[in-house]
Structure 1
């Protein structure tokens, strides 16, 4: 039988003739890894460069006013001005860009933490107890269907214009995705696993802790990521009133004066920070749920 392994004499090395272009890869070379890394970096970078080029081309073409499509230089100047003290003016509205972003992230973190914790707890309860699910599911669906801006003004009437209505809005926006994902995941736990655990003498709490929750974790993490995304999309609404310092407040205030470069800087700050947070959540999910897609 012919072997696919080279049967040359042990101790001898067979190499391709120099200059043929068929040299064997050296030890430590990982062409496929480098190719994947290059692709992962090159394609997103190329798409960004193409977008920026098209934007600049549209800005200098004169088809649209600079109020609608400002040149990239104006956006860069706005970014620098918002990040430094210049001509006696500190950032935007006397706060630096980093301070605006910090306040927004703090509101999002607190609101999402409250909303996700309540949503996961509610989802576990609804998924485990059918009558609770039938009782609360219409209310959860009703809340999920409402755009956050629809009830923000009611929260302002009830809670004022300080931090409480902002955090409450973000928590209410983050709650439904986490609750729905967790409810579905818990209710979909494989019955044979539950029956096997009970046959081995596991209590109801043991089954919930050791079988149901691990089985539900992958979908729960998906719901958490959705909750963060929806909360981020609600930031501008949450910071409509008394939102400075805050990126949403900056975007709203700058739009009142048609200050498009500042609006674009705010949008970029929200979007980029959102990408970073989502990447962190995916890394945490990979570590916390290594069995996802393998079982």
Structure 2
């Protein structure tokens, strides 16, 4: 454990050293490669109030990040719940699999910006299209992972449950889903990652406050240091959330990799 932490810290320090060296060499202008010091300065500026200016666009950095995390959380929760239900049905019912399988694959291959404009037409420019976009982005990975995992559950488990008196409606929830849980959790991690990569697209319209909206706004004015800061904030929070999901995986499926 300690060795892994040291290696991770060493990797981060190495990346910082390369970043600093490239910026110090002035190979490119600061508009293209801002130095670490400039990004640190923006971290202080966007996290405090200076000369009557509060953070960035009137909101502090943690407020931008908090709004985006709320959108990601809602979209991911809806997507995970819908994906598990859809994956169970697709995996267990061949007719549904034939009908909905191609549709799930079709949605999974669409880039978020391709249908975000349609969501704006349908739901306006407030929260609804943003959360819906993240929901649509997060649902297919969970649905595909759940359906494949359900189809891979050994039939002996089902036969044993039936022989012990399990009712038909109990088998999917009490037998199939727990057996498929390791793959489902992997799908959840992928879905949350997809939601994170989609948040900037979700906040292209009326996205402030929001970390993606902050990035888009800074991009318009060539504030590369703010853009890099926003990316680092998303990445750091994403690592934290993924770490929590891995912890949940170890608690929920402790047998994974041991049997």
Output the TM-score relative to the length of structure 1.
0.86
The one of 62, 65, 69 equivalent to 2:33 is 69
* 1:193-212 aligned within 5 A: 193-212=157-176
CA distance in 2, matches of 1:154, 1:207: 39
Unaligned runs of 5+ in 2: none
The separation in 2 between residues aligned to 1:114 and 1:206, in whole angstroms, is 23
The equivalences for 1:265-280 within 5 A come to 265-280=229-244
Among candidates 185, 190, 194, match of residue 221 of structure 1 = 185
1:210 Cα deviation from its structure 2 partner: 2.4
2:228 to 253, 261, 264: 264
The answer for unaligned runs of 5 or more in structure 1 is 1-35
Give the stretch that moved more between structures: 267-276 or 151-160.
151-160
Matched residue SS, 2:169: helix
2:89 to 112, 121, 125: 125
Corresponding residue for residue 252 of structure 1: 216
Q: Distance in 2 between matches of 1:71 and 1:247?
A: 21
How big is the alpha-carbon RMSD for the aligned residues of Structure 1 and Structure 2? Answer: 1.0
**Higher share of residues assigned helix:** 2
Structure 1 CA distance for aligned equivalents of residues 23 and 119 of structure 2: 40
Aligned residues: 259
**Higher relative CO (CA 8 A, sep ≥ 6), structure 1 or 2?**
2
> Of the two, which has the highest radius of gyration?
1
SS at match of 2:4: helix
Q: How far has the Cα of 1:150 moved from its partner?
A: 0.7
TM-score (norm 2): 0.98
Offset, 1:293: 2.3
Per-residue deviation, 1:291: 2.1
1:62 positional shift: 1.7
Report whether the alignment pairs 1:116 with 2:80.
yes
| Secondary structure class of the residue paired with 2:208 | coil
State the shift of 1:206 in Å: 2.6
Taking the aligned partners of 1:294 and 1:134, their CA distance within structure 2 comes to 35
Q: Could you tell me which residue of structure 2 aligns to residue 183 of structure 1?
A: 147
For 1:25, the equivalent position in structure 2 comes to: none
* Runs of 4+ with >3 A deviation: none
Distance 1:202 1:109 in 2: 35
